[in-house]
Amino acid sequence: MRLRFFLLLAVVLAVPEVSASQLVSLDSCRAMALRNNKQMLINATRIEAAKYKKKEAQAAYLPGLDFAGGYTYNQKNISVFGSDQLLPVKTFNPATGSYEFSIAKNPITGEPITSPDGTPVPQEVALIPKEAMTYDIHNVFFGALTLTQPVYMGGKIRALNRITDYAEQLAVAKGQSDAENIIYDVDVAYWQVVSLGAKERLAKGYVALLDTLNRNVQAMISEGVATPSDRLMVNVKLNQAQVDLTKVKNGVTLSRMALAQLCGLPIDSDLHLEDENKEKLSIVMPQSVQYEDMEQVYSRRQDIRQLEIGSNIVHQQSKVELSSMLPKLSVIGAYSFSNPNMFDGFSKSFDGAFSVGVMVSVPLWHWGGNYNKYKVAQTQETIMQLNIADAKEKIALQVRQASFKAQEAVKTYKMTLENLASADENLRQAQIGFREGVMTIDNVMEAQTAWLKANSECVDAQIDVQLCNTYLQKVLGLLSY
């Protein structure tokens, strides 16, 4: 299905532009509309965006590499001591074979000298100046390079990848559905131009008939076999026919503009159609519909496919919500560095070290919040399934209605052919009778009016058969383009 859509775009883009005065076919109008329609361009952009989303989701399987760094200015340095420190030292005592503190003794009494609180005063001390334990941290530079590899995220990454894949399929299906709608609109506009063109020729023929009748009546008035009231009656009909002809001409012009707009051409284009000058159109009779094979119809319908893809997306969304209740495992590696650093004493230079670890996150209790989100997603999936069932019922009814309408159009067309033959013969007989003097002017005008009506109904019936066939193909999912 996706390949079909891209092939459609390739073929459409390969079709050359049609000049404004060139004779164009229905297929050419379809191709121009598909190429120039803004909605089709929007759909192509959506498909491209869906591809990028898909690649984004696939990247979640791979490790992420991040860098963070910074600079800090500190007003003060840091000092371990508030003042110089005197530390007692030990000396080796050969008698005991161990290190002992050397205590200052009174040279007279030989007693240890103590401080006011009774603590013996050491004889030897080590001086640690305050400056030796003061570190310059006015300017600190730091940074870290971190590598994170997801191992298990509760199925969230897999579900998100499937969602993006379905989103791409949904964009393609949406494009195909819009293409079918555009084609149907083009067909309606195309056959509208053909229909009004045929009616314009009929109106001209009707005016010519009335004009001929008017001249004949004028001649009869000169010979005294007709009255001025007869001529006035014909003139009224002739004037009305000329007004109707003007309306039809305006309708043809407006219909041609509408078709040009759908095809992406300037609305004032002099667009000529292959079928508008044909005396008899090639009627494509609708095919009979096998109702028992509706499953194939469902499989071809793009609206059903869109609903099914939407249901798949909602199903994967429920898995995303389920992952919020499952544990998550990641492996983390990092390289951190700073200046100054304390790896080998205090040094005002850049240095760093690697670290590797594992991070586990286990949801424990959230007062049912995550569970309720999961249940909401499940109810959305149920709604989507009900929408699919409802759409299938409506499509089954739509197919039957389209089939019945197509059958009625064919019967109407056959009936109009019979009526047209009768109207032609009736007009011929009226004209002969009028020339022979056995038919009145009213009889001739009635025959002419019936002839115009029969021809107009026949044109409408032909166009209706064409449009009913197109619509039937559309609802069956068989519309070719």
pLDDT digits (tens, 9 = 90+) for 124-136: 777 888 887 888 8
75 part of a folded domain = no
Structure confidence at residue 125 (pLDDT):
78
Give the three-class secondary structure for 75. coil
Q: Please, is 234 exposed, middle or buried when counting C-beta atoms within 10 Å of its C-beta (0-12, 13-18, 19+)?
A: buried
388 part of a folded domain = yes
75-79, 135-139, 288-292, 471-475: which is most confident: 471-475
CA distances from 263 to 35, 252, 260, 274 (A): 8, 16, 5, 15
Q: Above 60 in pLDDT, residue 21?
A: no
459 part of a folded domain = yes
Longest CA–CA separation in the chain, Å: 177
Q: Please, is 41 exposed, middle or buried when counting C-beta atoms within 10 Å of its C-beta (0-12, 13-18, 19+)?
A: exposed
- Please, which pLDDT band fits residue 291 given cuts at 50, 70 and 90? low
CATH number of the domain within which 290 lies: 1.20.1600.10
Structure confidence at residue 2 (pLDDT):
43
DSSP 114: B
In whole angstroms, give the CA distance from residue 359 to residue 195.
73
Structure confidence at residue 118 (pLDDT):
73
146 part of a folded domain = no
Containing 70, the helix (H) or strand (E) segment is strand 64-73
pLDDT digits (tens, 9 = 90+) for 367-384: 988 899 999 999 999 999
Q: What is the average pLDDT across 104-110?
A: 75
- Greater pLDDT, 280 or 308: 308
Pick from 360, 364, 374: which is nearest to 152 by CA? Answer: 360
CA distances from 319 to 22, 280, 309, 310, 377 (A): 56, 60, 16, 14, 9
Q: By the 8 A CB rule, do 102 and 56 touch?
A: no
Q: What would the 3-class secondary structure string for 325-358 be?
A: CCCEEEEEEEEEEEECECECECECCCEEEEEEEE
298 part of a folded domain = yes
Structure confidence at residue 15 (pLDDT):
40
335 part of a folded domain = no
68 part of a folded domain = no
Structure confidence at residue 22 (pLDDT):
63
Q: What is the average pLDDT across 277-282?
A: 74
User: Whole domain around residue 467: which residue ranges?
Assistant: 2-36+155-326+367-475
Provide the whole-model pTM.
0.77
92 part of a folded domain = no
Structure confidence at residue 396 (pLDDT):
92
Domain count, the chain: 1
